[in-house]
Structure 1
Amino acid sequence: MEIYNSNADLSRRAVTYNLQGLSFREFLNFENDLNLEPVILEEILRNHQDISGSIVAQIKILPEFKKYLEYGYYPFYKEGLKVYPIRLQNVVNTILENDLPAVENIEYNTVYKIKKMLMIIASLVPFSPNIAKLSAEIETNRANTVRYLDYLQKAGLTINLLSSKKGISLMNKPDKVYLDNTNLQYALSLSGVNEGNLRETFFANQIKALHHLRTSQQGDFVVNDKYTFEVGGVNKRFDQIKNIKDSFVVTDNTETGFGNRIPLWLFGLMY
Protein backbone atom coordinates (compact mmCIF):
# COMPACT_ATOMS: atom_id res chain seq x y z
CA MET A 1 0.00 0.00 0.00
CA GLU A 2 2.87 2.37 0.70
CA ILE A 3 3.81 2.11 -2.97
CA TYR A 4 0.51 3.83 -3.84
CA ASN A 5 1.31 6.73 -1.53
CA SER A 6 4.82 7.24 -2.90
CA ASN A 7 4.12 6.46 -6.55
CA ALA A 8 4.62 10.01 -7.82
CA ASP A 9 8.11 10.18 -6.34
CA LEU A 10 8.97 6.64 -7.42
CA SER A 11 7.88 7.20 -11.01
CA ARG A 12 11.05 9.15 -11.77
CA ARG A 13 13.33 6.42 -10.49
CA ALA A 14 11.71 3.01 -10.77
CA VAL A 15 9.08 0.91 -12.47
CA THR A 16 6.46 -0.41 -10.03
CA TYR A 17 4.63 -3.71 -10.38
CA ASN A 18 1.47 -5.09 -8.83
CA LEU A 19 2.22 -8.70 -7.89
CA GLN A 20 -0.82 -10.90 -8.39
CA GLY A 21 -1.49 -14.24 -6.78
CA LEU A 22 -1.15 -17.37 -8.88
CA SER A 23 -3.10 -17.39 -12.12
CA PHE A 24 -4.99 -20.55 -13.01
CA ARG A 25 -2.28 -21.26 -15.61
CA GLU A 26 0.44 -21.03 -12.97
CA PHE A 27 -1.56 -23.27 -10.64
CA LEU A 28 -1.97 -25.88 -13.39
CA ASN A 29 1.75 -25.85 -14.14
CA PHE A 30 2.59 -26.00 -10.44
CA GLU A 31 0.25 -28.89 -9.64
CA ASN A 32 0.50 -31.00 -12.79
CA ASP A 33 4.05 -30.54 -14.09
CA LEU A 34 2.75 -28.81 -17.22
CA ASN A 35 4.43 -26.06 -19.21
CA LEU A 36 1.48 -23.96 -20.37
CA GLU A 37 2.49 -20.57 -21.77
CA PRO A 38 0.46 -17.37 -21.20
CA VAL A 39 -2.21 -16.63 -23.80
CA ILE A 40 -3.24 -13.04 -24.56
CA LEU A 41 -6.89 -12.04 -24.32
CA GLU A 42 -7.35 -11.47 -28.05
CA GLU A 43 -6.01 -14.94 -28.82
CA ILE A 44 -8.47 -16.48 -26.37
CA LEU A 45 -11.34 -14.63 -28.05
CA ARG A 46 -10.23 -15.68 -31.55
CA ASN A 47 -9.01 -19.20 -30.99
CA HIS A 48 -10.52 -20.53 -27.76
CA GLN A 49 -11.68 -23.86 -29.19
CA ASP A 50 -8.19 -24.90 -30.26
CA ILE A 51 -6.62 -23.64 -27.03
CA SER A 52 -9.09 -25.43 -24.77
CA GLY A 53 -8.96 -28.58 -26.91
CA SER A 54 -5.20 -28.89 -26.56
CA ILE A 55 -5.38 -28.51 -22.77
CA VAL A 56 -8.34 -30.79 -22.04
CA ALA A 57 -6.54 -33.49 -24.04
CA GLN A 58 -3.82 -33.39 -21.34
CA ILE A 59 -5.80 -32.98 -18.13
CA LYS A 60 -9.28 -33.09 -16.57
CA ILE A 61 -9.63 -29.35 -16.39
CA LEU A 62 -12.87 -28.81 -14.43
CA PRO A 63 -11.78 -30.60 -11.21
CA GLU A 64 -8.54 -28.60 -11.31
CA PHE A 65 -10.49 -25.39 -11.76
CA LYS A 66 -12.64 -26.10 -8.71
CA LYS A 67 -9.50 -26.68 -6.64
CA TYR A 68 -8.03 -23.40 -7.83
CA LEU A 69 -11.15 -21.43 -6.96
CA GLU A 70 -11.06 -22.75 -3.40
CA TYR A 71 -7.36 -22.66 -2.56
CA GLY A 72 -5.09 -22.06 -5.56
CA TYR A 73 -4.49 -18.30 -5.54
CA TYR A 74 -1.93 -17.96 -2.74
CA PRO A 75 1.10 -20.29 -2.97
CA PHE A 76 1.11 -21.01 0.77
CA TYR A 77 -1.74 -23.50 0.22
CA LYS A 78 1.14 -25.96 -0.22
CA GLU A 79 1.82 -25.68 3.51
CA GLY A 80 -1.46 -27.44 4.33
CA LEU A 81 -5.02 -27.29 2.99
CA LYS A 82 -6.68 -27.76 6.39
CA VAL A 83 -5.07 -24.62 7.81
CA TYR A 84 -5.21 -22.61 4.58
CA PRO A 85 -8.48 -20.74 5.35
CA ILE A 86 -7.21 -19.85 8.83
CA ARG A 87 -3.89 -18.65 7.45
CA LEU A 88 -5.73 -16.56 4.89
CA GLN A 89 -7.92 -15.02 7.60
CA ASN A 90 -4.75 -14.22 9.55
CA VAL A 91 -3.24 -12.52 6.50
CA VAL A 92 -6.36 -10.37 6.14
CA ASN A 93 -6.22 -9.42 9.82
CA THR A 94 -2.53 -8.52 9.54
CA ILE A 95 -3.22 -6.28 6.56
CA LEU A 96 -6.07 -4.49 8.32
CA GLU A 97 -4.63 -4.29 11.83
CA ASN A 98 -0.93 -3.69 11.08
CA ASP A 99 -0.21 -2.70 7.47
CA LEU A 100 -3.13 -0.37 6.89
CA PRO A 101 -2.67 1.74 10.07
CA ALA A 102 1.07 2.03 9.39
CA VAL A 103 0.55 3.32 5.85
CA GLU A 104 -2.59 5.42 6.23
CA ASN A 105 -2.03 6.62 9.81
CA ILE A 106 -5.48 5.58 11.00
CA GLU A 107 -6.69 4.67 14.48
CA TYR A 108 -8.04 1.38 15.78
CA ASN A 109 -11.64 2.60 15.69
CA THR A 110 -11.26 3.18 11.95
CA VAL A 111 -9.71 -0.26 11.50
CA TYR A 112 -12.74 -1.77 13.25
CA LYS A 113 -15.08 0.02 10.82
CA ILE A 114 -13.09 -1.14 7.80
CA LYS A 115 -13.12 -4.74 9.08
CA LYS A 116 -16.88 -4.50 9.56
CA MET A 117 -17.21 -3.14 6.02
CA LEU A 118 -15.18 -6.04 4.62
CA MET A 119 -17.40 -8.59 6.35
CA ILE A 120 -20.51 -6.88 4.96
CA ILE A 121 -18.99 -7.05 1.48
CA ALA A 122 -18.00 -10.71 1.97
CA SER A 123 -21.58 -11.63 2.85
CA LEU A 124 -23.11 -9.81 -0.12
CA VAL A 125 -20.62 -10.02 -3.02
CA PRO A 126 -20.97 -8.90 -5.70
CA PHE A 127 -21.88 -5.86 -3.64
CA SER A 128 -23.52 -2.79 -5.20
CA PRO A 129 -22.82 -0.18 -2.53
CA ASN A 130 -25.60 1.95 -1.13
CA ILE A 131 -23.24 4.49 0.41
CA ALA A 132 -25.81 6.05 2.74
CA LYS A 133 -26.84 2.65 4.13
CA LEU A 134 -23.26 1.38 4.36
CA SER A 135 -22.17 4.58 6.12
CA ALA A 136 -24.94 4.11 8.69
CA GLU A 137 -23.94 0.47 9.29
CA ILE A 138 -20.31 1.32 10.00
CA GLU A 139 -21.18 4.65 11.69
CA THR A 140 -19.27 7.10 9.54
CA ASN A 141 -19.90 9.68 6.81
CA ARG A 142 -20.06 9.27 3.05
CA ALA A 143 -16.56 10.58 2.36
CA ASN A 144 -15.02 8.15 4.84
CA THR A 145 -17.00 5.23 3.45
CA VAL A 146 -15.79 5.86 -0.09
CA ARG A 147 -12.24 6.28 1.20
CA TYR A 148 -12.41 3.01 3.17
CA LEU A 149 -13.56 1.20 0.03
CA ASP A 150 -10.50 2.59 -1.72
CA TYR A 151 -8.26 1.37 1.13
CA LEU A 152 -9.62 -2.17 0.75
CA GLN A 153 -8.86 -2.21 -2.96
CA LYS A 154 -5.35 -0.83 -2.49
CA ALA A 155 -4.76 -3.49 0.16
CA GLY A 156 -5.57 -6.20 -2.39
CA LEU A 157 -8.72 -7.31 -0.59
CA THR A 158 -11.41 -6.08 -2.98
CA ILE A 159 -11.97 -5.23 -6.63
CA ASN A 160 -13.95 -1.99 -6.93
CA LEU A 161 -15.45 -1.50 -10.38
CA LEU A 162 -16.90 1.67 -11.82
CA SER A 163 -19.64 1.67 -14.43
CA SER A 164 -18.56 2.14 -18.04
CA LYS A 165 -20.57 5.39 -17.89
CA LYS A 166 -18.55 6.96 -15.04
CA GLY A 167 -15.33 8.93 -15.04
CA ILE A 168 -12.50 7.99 -12.70
CA SER A 169 -12.58 9.86 -9.39
CA LEU A 170 -11.76 8.90 -5.82
CA MET A 171 -15.14 10.26 -4.73
CA ASN A 172 -17.10 8.15 -7.22
CA LYS A 173 -18.63 5.19 -5.44
CA PRO A 174 -17.95 1.84 -7.13
CA ASP A 175 -20.78 0.33 -9.12
CA LYS A 176 -19.84 -3.15 -7.86
CA VAL A 177 -17.42 -4.45 -5.24
CA TYR A 178 -16.01 -7.98 -5.32
CA LEU A 179 -13.62 -9.69 -2.96
CA ASP A 180 -10.24 -9.69 -4.67
CA ASN A 181 -10.21 -13.42 -5.42
CA THR A 182 -12.28 -16.54 -4.95
CA ASN A 183 -10.07 -17.93 -2.16
CA LEU A 184 -11.08 -14.95 -0.02
CA GLN A 185 -14.73 -15.85 -0.59
CA TYR A 186 -14.17 -19.32 0.82
CA ALA A 187 -12.21 -17.94 3.78
CA LEU A 188 -14.38 -14.96 4.71
CA SER A 189 -17.98 -15.67 3.70
CA LEU A 190 -19.93 -16.80 6.77
CA SER A 191 -22.95 -17.86 4.72
CA GLY A 192 -21.06 -20.04 2.24
CA VAL A 193 -20.01 -19.30 -1.32
CA ASN A 194 -22.33 -18.59 -4.22
CA GLU A 195 -21.43 -20.04 -7.62
CA GLY A 196 -22.49 -16.92 -9.50
CA ASN A 197 -20.28 -14.79 -7.27
CA LEU A 198 -17.35 -17.17 -7.73
CA ARG A 199 -17.63 -16.95 -11.52
CA GLU A 200 -17.70 -13.18 -11.64
CA THR A 201 -14.95 -12.82 -9.04
CA PHE A 202 -12.63 -15.18 -10.92
CA PHE A 203 -13.23 -13.37 -14.20
CA ALA A 204 -12.70 -9.93 -12.66
CA ASN A 205 -9.57 -11.03 -10.80
CA GLN A 206 -7.84 -12.57 -13.79
CA ILE A 207 -8.83 -9.84 -16.26
CA LYS A 208 -7.92 -6.84 -14.10
CA ALA A 209 -4.33 -8.06 -13.77
CA LEU A 210 -3.67 -7.00 -17.37
CA HIS A 211 -6.69 -5.10 -18.66
CA HIS A 212 -9.01 -2.18 -17.97
CA LEU A 213 -12.22 -3.52 -16.45
CA ARG A 214 -15.59 -1.89 -15.77
CA THR A 215 -19.16 -2.99 -15.21
CA SER A 216 -21.55 -2.94 -18.15
CA GLN A 217 -25.08 -1.60 -18.46
CA GLN A 218 -26.13 -4.65 -20.52
CA GLY A 219 -23.66 -7.43 -19.79
CA ASP A 220 -21.61 -8.02 -16.65
CA PHE A 221 -18.28 -6.49 -17.71
CA VAL A 222 -16.66 -4.26 -20.32
CA VAL A 223 -12.95 -4.88 -20.97
CA ASN A 224 -10.69 -2.23 -22.50
CA ASP A 225 -13.82 -0.21 -23.38
CA LYS A 226 -14.35 -2.65 -26.27
CA TYR A 227 -15.36 -6.19 -25.31
CA THR A 228 -18.60 -6.95 -23.45
CA PHE A 229 -18.85 -10.14 -21.38
CA GLU A 230 -21.80 -11.88 -19.77
CA VAL A 231 -20.67 -14.48 -17.22
CA GLY A 232 -22.88 -17.38 -16.17
CA GLY A 233 -23.54 -21.09 -15.92
CA VAL A 234 -23.44 -23.66 -18.67
CA ASN A 235 -26.90 -22.67 -19.98
CA LYS A 236 -26.28 -18.92 -20.04
CA ARG A 237 -27.91 -17.27 -23.07
CA PHE A 238 -26.99 -14.28 -25.24
CA ASP A 239 -30.28 -12.45 -24.65
CA GLN A 240 -28.79 -9.49 -22.74
CA ILE A 241 -25.92 -8.83 -25.16
CA LYS A 242 -27.12 -10.23 -28.50
CA ASN A 243 -27.09 -6.84 -30.27
CA ILE A 244 -23.73 -5.66 -28.91
CA LYS A 245 -20.63 -5.79 -31.09
CA ASP A 246 -17.66 -7.74 -29.70
CA SER A 247 -19.79 -9.46 -27.05
CA PHE A 248 -19.16 -12.88 -25.50
CA VAL A 249 -20.86 -15.28 -23.11
CA VAL A 250 -18.46 -16.82 -20.60
CA THR A 251 -19.68 -20.12 -19.14
CA ASP A 252 -18.69 -22.15 -16.10
CA ASN A 253 -18.61 -25.97 -15.96
CA THR A 254 -17.65 -26.08 -19.64
CA GLU A 255 -14.50 -27.69 -21.04
CA THR A 256 -14.71 -26.22 -24.53
CA GLY A 257 -16.85 -23.56 -26.17
CA PHE A 258 -18.00 -22.56 -29.62
CA GLY A 259 -18.48 -19.29 -31.47
CA ASN A 260 -18.73 -16.48 -28.95
CA ARG A 261 -19.31 -18.85 -26.02
CA ILE A 262 -16.06 -19.28 -24.11
CA PRO A 263 -15.26 -21.44 -21.06
CA LEU A 264 -14.61 -19.40 -17.92
CA TRP A 265 -11.40 -21.22 -16.98
CA LEU A 266 -9.64 -20.08 -20.17
CA PHE A 267 -9.43 -16.54 -18.81
CA GLY A 268 -7.03 -17.86 -16.19
CA LEU A 269 -4.34 -18.44 -18.82
CA MET A 270 -3.39 -14.81 -19.45
CA TYR A 271 -0.46 -14.44 -17.02
Structure 2
Amino acid sequence: MISAHRLTKTYGARTAVDAIDFTVEPGRVTGFLGPNGAGKSTTMRMVLGLDRPTSGTVTVNGRRYVDSPAPLREVGALLEARALHPGRSARDHLRWLAVSNGIPSRRVGEVLELVGLTSVAGQRVGRFSLGMGQRLGIAAALLGDPPVVVLDEPVNGLDPEGIRWVRTLARDLAAEGRTVFVSSHLMSEMALTADHLVVIGRGRVLADCSTAEFVAEHAASHVRVRSPQQDRVVTLLRDAGLDVAAHGGELRVQGPDAATVGELVGSAGLLLHELTLVRSSLEDAFMTLTADSVEYAGASR
Protein backbone atom coordinates (compact mmCIF):
# COMPACT_ATOMS: atom_id res chain seq x y z
CA MET A 1 0.00 0.00 0.00
CA ILE A 2 1.14 3.55 -0.77
CA SER A 3 -0.18 6.29 1.52
CA ALA A 4 0.34 10.04 1.08
CA HIS A 5 -0.71 12.55 3.71
CA ARG A 6 -0.55 16.31 3.11
CA LEU A 7 2.29 15.59 0.69
CA THR A 8 3.84 18.85 -0.54
CA LYS A 9 6.78 19.78 -2.73
CA THR A 10 7.83 23.34 -3.53
CA TYR A 11 10.64 24.69 -5.69
CA GLY A 12 11.25 28.25 -4.58
CA ALA A 13 7.99 30.11 -5.07
CA ARG A 14 6.46 27.35 -7.21
CA THR A 15 4.36 24.61 -5.62
CA ALA A 16 4.61 21.41 -7.66
CA VAL A 17 2.59 19.22 -5.26
CA ASP A 18 0.14 20.91 -2.92
CA ALA A 19 -0.80 19.02 0.28
CA ILE A 20 -2.25 15.97 -1.44
CA ASP A 21 -3.77 12.91 0.26
CA PHE A 22 -4.33 9.58 -1.46
CA THR A 23 -3.99 5.84 -0.90
CA VAL A 24 -3.02 3.23 -3.46
CA GLU A 25 -4.47 -0.06 -2.23
CA PRO A 26 -3.39 -3.62 -3.09
CA GLY A 27 -5.44 -5.85 -5.32
CA ARG A 28 -6.32 -3.26 -7.95
CA VAL A 29 -4.65 -1.14 -10.63
CA THR A 30 -4.67 2.53 -9.67
CA GLY A 31 -4.20 4.93 -12.57
CA PHE A 32 -2.43 8.23 -11.88
CA LEU A 33 -3.62 10.89 -14.31
CA GLY A 34 -3.05 14.58 -14.86
CA PRO A 35 -2.02 17.09 -17.54
CA ASN A 36 1.64 17.90 -18.18
CA GLY A 37 3.03 19.81 -15.21
CA ALA A 38 0.34 18.51 -12.85
CA GLY A 39 2.87 17.01 -10.43
CA LYS A 40 2.65 13.31 -11.31
CA SER A 41 6.35 12.65 -11.80
CA THR A 42 7.28 14.71 -8.73
CA THR A 43 4.82 12.70 -6.65
CA MET A 44 6.20 9.39 -7.91
CA ARG A 45 9.75 10.55 -7.17
CA MET A 46 8.73 11.38 -3.61
CA VAL A 47 7.15 7.93 -3.22
CA LEU A 48 10.53 6.44 -4.16
CA GLY A 49 12.63 8.79 -2.04
CA LEU A 50 14.23 10.46 -5.06
CA ASP A 51 12.78 13.84 -4.04
CA ARG A 52 12.36 14.90 -0.43
CA PRO A 53 8.92 16.31 0.47
CA THR A 54 8.85 19.92 1.61
CA SER A 55 6.20 18.79 4.08
CA GLY A 56 3.82 15.90 4.61
CA THR A 57 4.58 12.21 4.31
CA VAL A 58 4.41 9.32 1.90
CA THR A 59 4.93 5.72 2.98
CA VAL A 60 5.09 2.32 1.31
CA ASN A 61 3.63 -0.48 3.41
CA GLY A 62 3.84 1.71 6.50
CA ARG A 63 7.38 3.04 6.18
CA ARG A 64 9.43 5.37 4.01
CA TYR A 65 10.82 3.68 0.93
CA VAL A 66 14.35 4.93 1.74
CA ASP A 67 14.24 3.01 5.02
CA SER A 68 13.83 -0.34 3.26
CA PRO A 69 16.93 -2.58 3.59
CA ALA A 70 16.26 -4.16 0.16
CA PRO A 71 14.34 -1.59 -1.92
CA LEU A 72 13.84 -3.75 -5.02
CA ARG A 73 12.14 -6.39 -2.89
CA GLU A 74 9.77 -3.72 -1.52
CA VAL A 75 8.91 -1.62 -4.59
CA GLY A 76 9.56 -2.22 -8.26
CA ALA A 77 9.62 1.03 -10.20
CA LEU A 78 9.94 2.25 -13.77
CA LEU A 79 10.37 6.02 -13.94
CA GLU A 80 12.84 6.55 -16.77
CA ALA A 81 13.32 3.67 -19.16
CA ARG A 82 16.47 5.14 -20.71
CA ALA A 83 18.33 5.50 -17.39
CA LEU A 84 20.68 2.70 -18.41
CA HIS A 85 24.41 2.40 -18.99
CA PRO A 86 24.59 2.09 -22.80
CA GLY A 87 27.67 -0.14 -22.69
CA ARG A 88 26.12 -2.83 -20.49
CA SER A 89 24.14 -5.75 -21.80
CA ALA A 90 20.55 -6.21 -20.68
CA ARG A 91 21.60 -9.28 -18.65
CA ASP A 92 24.45 -7.45 -16.92
CA HIS A 93 22.23 -4.49 -16.11
CA LEU A 94 19.86 -6.80 -14.26
CA ARG A 95 22.69 -8.82 -12.68
CA TRP A 96 24.20 -5.87 -10.80
CA LEU A 97 20.75 -4.82 -9.60
CA ALA A 98 20.14 -8.35 -8.33
CA VAL A 99 23.47 -8.51 -6.49
CA SER A 100 22.89 -5.11 -4.86
CA ASN A 101 19.61 -6.32 -3.35
CA GLY A 102 20.47 -9.92 -2.55
CA ILE A 103 18.25 -11.31 -5.30
CA PRO A 104 19.11 -14.78 -6.67
CA SER A 105 20.79 -14.67 -10.09
CA ARG A 106 18.22 -17.09 -11.54
CA ARG A 107 15.65 -14.30 -11.24
CA VAL A 108 17.47 -12.39 -14.00
CA GLY A 109 16.61 -15.05 -16.56
CA GLU A 110 13.05 -15.26 -15.31
CA VAL A 111 12.29 -11.57 -15.81
CA LEU A 112 14.10 -11.44 -19.16
CA GLU A 113 11.79 -14.22 -20.36
CA LEU A 114 8.76 -12.51 -18.85
CA VAL A 115 9.36 -9.29 -20.81
CA GLY A 116 10.40 -11.05 -24.02
CA LEU A 117 14.09 -10.01 -24.08
CA THR A 118 15.80 -13.39 -23.67
CA SER A 119 17.03 -13.44 -27.29
CA VAL A 120 18.72 -10.02 -26.94
CA ALA A 121 19.90 -10.36 -23.34
CA GLY A 122 23.54 -10.19 -24.41
CA GLN A 123 23.19 -7.02 -26.50
CA ARG A 124 24.32 -3.64 -25.26
CA VAL A 125 21.33 -1.61 -24.17
CA GLY A 126 22.63 1.46 -26.00
CA ARG A 127 21.43 -0.24 -29.18
CA PHE A 128 17.95 -0.90 -27.83
CA SER A 129 14.89 0.80 -29.27
CA LEU A 130 12.64 2.82 -26.96
CA GLY A 131 10.24 -0.11 -26.71
CA MET A 132 13.02 -2.56 -25.82
CA GLY A 133 14.24 -0.10 -23.18
CA GLN A 134 10.74 0.01 -21.73
CA ARG A 135 10.65 -3.78 -21.50
CA LEU A 136 14.04 -3.84 -19.78
CA GLY A 137 12.84 -1.17 -17.33
CA ILE A 138 9.81 -3.31 -16.50
CA ALA A 139 12.09 -6.33 -16.04
CA ALA A 140 14.13 -4.33 -13.52
CA ALA A 141 10.95 -3.26 -11.72
CA LEU A 142 9.88 -6.90 -11.32
CA LEU A 143 13.33 -8.26 -10.48
CA GLY A 144 12.75 -8.38 -6.72
CA ASP A 145 9.23 -9.85 -7.07
CA PRO A 146 7.96 -6.79 -5.14
CA PRO A 147 4.52 -6.40 -3.52
CA VAL A 148 4.32 -2.80 -4.83
CA VAL A 149 4.86 -1.83 -8.49
CA VAL A 150 5.11 1.79 -9.70
CA LEU A 151 5.15 2.38 -13.46
CA ASP A 152 5.44 5.85 -15.03
CA GLU A 153 4.26 5.85 -18.67
CA PRO A 154 5.13 2.15 -19.16
CA VAL A 155 3.71 1.85 -22.70
CA ASN A 156 5.81 4.62 -24.28
CA GLY A 157 7.41 3.30 -27.45
CA LEU A 158 5.60 -0.03 -27.40
CA ASP A 159 3.71 -1.47 -30.36
CA PRO A 160 0.07 -2.61 -29.99
CA GLU A 161 1.13 -6.09 -28.86
CA GLY A 162 3.43 -4.56 -26.24
CA ILE A 163 0.74 -2.20 -24.99
CA ARG A 164 -1.67 -5.08 -24.59
CA TRP A 165 1.01 -7.08 -22.79
CA VAL A 166 1.64 -4.27 -20.27
CA ARG A 167 -2.10 -3.96 -19.66
CA THR A 168 -2.43 -7.69 -18.99
CA LEU A 169 0.68 -7.66 -16.81
CA ALA A 170 -0.62 -4.81 -14.65
CA ARG A 171 -3.96 -6.50 -14.14
CA ASP A 172 -2.32 -9.87 -13.38
CA LEU A 173 -0.06 -8.27 -10.77
CA ALA A 174 -3.07 -6.65 -9.11
CA ALA A 175 -4.96 -9.95 -9.20
CA GLU A 176 -2.07 -11.48 -7.22
CA GLY A 177 -2.78 -8.94 -4.47
CA ARG A 178 -0.01 -6.48 -5.29
CA THR A 179 -0.26 -2.70 -5.19
CA VAL A 180 -0.04 -1.38 -8.77
CA PHE A 181 0.33 2.37 -9.45
CA VAL A 182 0.48 3.38 -13.12
CA SER A 183 0.62 6.78 -14.81
CA SER A 184 -0.21 7.32 -18.46
CA HIS A 185 -1.39 9.94 -20.93
CA LEU A 186 -3.23 7.29 -22.98
CA MET A 187 -6.79 7.61 -21.73
CA SER A 188 -8.11 4.76 -23.85
CA GLU A 189 -5.52 2.44 -22.33
CA MET A 190 -6.20 3.60 -18.77
CA ALA A 191 -9.90 2.95 -19.34
CA LEU A 192 -9.04 -0.70 -20.05
CA THR A 193 -6.40 -1.07 -17.32
CA ALA A 194 -7.24 0.95 -14.21
CA ASP A 195 -9.83 -0.05 -11.61
CA HIS A 196 -9.31 3.16 -9.63
CA LEU A 197 -8.08 6.65 -10.52
CA VAL A 198 -6.21 9.42 -8.75
CA VAL A 199 -6.37 12.56 -10.91
CA ILE A 200 -4.31 15.65 -10.14
CA GLY A 201 -4.09 19.11 -11.66
CA ARG A 202 -1.75 21.94 -10.70
CA GLY A 203 -0.47 19.84 -7.83
CA ARG A 204 -3.84 19.13 -6.22
CA VAL A 205 -6.03 16.02 -6.19
CA LEU A 206 -9.06 16.57 -8.41
CA ALA A 207 -10.56 13.09 -8.13
CA ASP A 208 -9.95 9.87 -6.21
CA CYS A 209 -12.53 7.23 -7.13
CA SER A 210 -13.23 4.18 -9.27
CA THR A 211 -12.85 4.55 -13.03
CA ALA A 212 -16.56 3.93 -13.57
CA GLU A 213 -17.53 6.57 -10.99
CA PHE A 214 -15.15 9.08 -12.54
CA VAL A 215 -16.59 8.69 -16.04
CA ALA A 216 -20.18 8.75 -14.79
CA GLU A 217 -19.62 11.93 -12.77
CA HIS A 218 -17.60 13.99 -15.22
CA ALA A 219 -18.90 13.07 -18.68
CA ALA A 220 -22.53 12.58 -19.61
CA SER A 221 -23.70 9.98 -22.12
CA HIS A 222 -26.24 10.92 -24.77
CA VAL A 223 -28.63 9.30 -27.21
CA ARG A 224 -27.91 9.89 -30.90
CA VAL A 225 -31.06 10.20 -33.01
CA ARG A 226 -31.40 10.42 -36.79
CA SER A 227 -34.79 10.94 -38.42
CA PRO A 228 -36.10 12.19 -41.77
CA GLN A 229 -38.59 14.19 -39.64
CA GLN A 230 -35.93 15.87 -37.51
CA ASP A 231 -37.77 19.13 -36.83
CA ARG A 232 -40.86 17.32 -35.56
CA VAL A 233 -38.73 15.00 -33.41
CA VAL A 234 -36.93 17.98 -31.87
CA THR A 235 -40.24 19.64 -31.00
CA LEU A 236 -41.62 16.42 -29.54
CA LEU A 237 -38.61 15.74 -27.33
CA ARG A 238 -38.27 19.32 -26.13
CA ASP A 239 -42.00 19.44 -25.29
CA ALA A 240 -41.31 16.35 -23.14
CA GLY A 241 -38.71 18.38 -21.23
CA LEU A 242 -35.63 16.75 -22.72
CA ASP A 243 -32.34 18.50 -23.55
CA VAL A 244 -31.92 18.21 -27.33
CA ALA A 245 -29.10 19.62 -29.47
CA ALA A 246 -28.83 19.40 -33.26
CA HIS A 247 -25.43 18.53 -34.75
CA GLY A 248 -25.64 18.42 -38.54
CA GLY A 249 -27.93 15.57 -39.49
CA GLU A 250 -28.23 14.10 -36.00
CA LEU A 251 -29.76 14.97 -32.65
CA ARG A 252 -28.06 14.48 -29.27
CA VAL A 253 -30.46 13.90 -26.42
CA GLN A 254 -29.14 14.20 -22.85
CA GLY A 255 -30.61 12.37 -19.90
CA PRO A 256 -32.84 9.41 -20.80
CA ASP A 257 -31.82 6.06 -22.19
CA ALA A 258 -32.34 5.05 -25.82
CA ALA A 259 -35.49 3.03 -25.06
CA THR A 260 -37.24 6.04 -23.51
CA VAL A 261 -36.42 8.24 -26.52
CA GLY A 262 -37.52 5.54 -28.96
CA GLU A 263 -40.85 5.03 -27.20
CA LEU A 264 -41.58 8.77 -27.27
CA VAL A 265 -40.83 9.07 -30.96
CA GLY A 266 -42.65 5.84 -31.83
CA SER A 267 -45.77 6.80 -29.89
CA ALA A 268 -46.00 9.96 -32.02
CA GLY A 269 -45.82 7.91 -35.22
CA LEU A 270 -42.54 9.49 -36.33
CA LEU A 271 -39.78 7.70 -38.26
CA LEU A 272 -36.35 6.83 -36.88
CA HIS A 273 -33.27 5.96 -38.91
CA GLU A 274 -30.92 5.68 -35.93
CA LEU A 275 -31.26 5.43 -32.17
CA THR A 276 -27.92 4.87 -30.39
CA LEU A 277 -26.74 5.31 -26.83
CA VAL A 278 -23.32 6.98 -27.04
CA ARG A 279 -21.39 6.32 -23.86
CA SER A 280 -18.89 8.87 -22.63
CA SER A 281 -15.22 7.95 -22.52
CA LEU A 282 -12.55 8.35 -19.88
CA GLU A 283 -10.92 10.90 -22.18
CA ASP A 284 -14.11 12.98 -22.23
CA ALA A 285 -14.31 12.93 -18.44
CA PHE A 286 -10.61 13.73 -18.05
CA MET A 287 -10.75 16.67 -20.44
CA THR A 288 -13.82 18.07 -18.70
CA LEU A 289 -12.32 17.85 -15.21
CA THR A 290 -8.84 19.12 -16.08
CA ALA A 291 -9.79 21.88 -18.53
CA ASP A 292 -8.71 24.57 -16.06
CA SER A 293 -5.53 22.74 -15.06
CA VAL A 294 -3.80 22.48 -18.44
CA GLU A 295 -0.43 24.22 -18.40
CA TYR A 296 -0.18 24.71 -22.16
CA ALA A 297 -3.13 24.68 -24.54
CA GLY A 298 -2.98 24.94 -28.31
CA ALA A 299 -5.37 27.16 -30.24
CA SER A 300 -7.85 25.60 -32.66
CA ARG A 301 -7.61 26.57 -36.33
Q: TM-score, normalised by structure 1?
A: 0.30
**Which of the two has greater helix per residue?**
1
**Which of the two has greater strand per residue?**
2
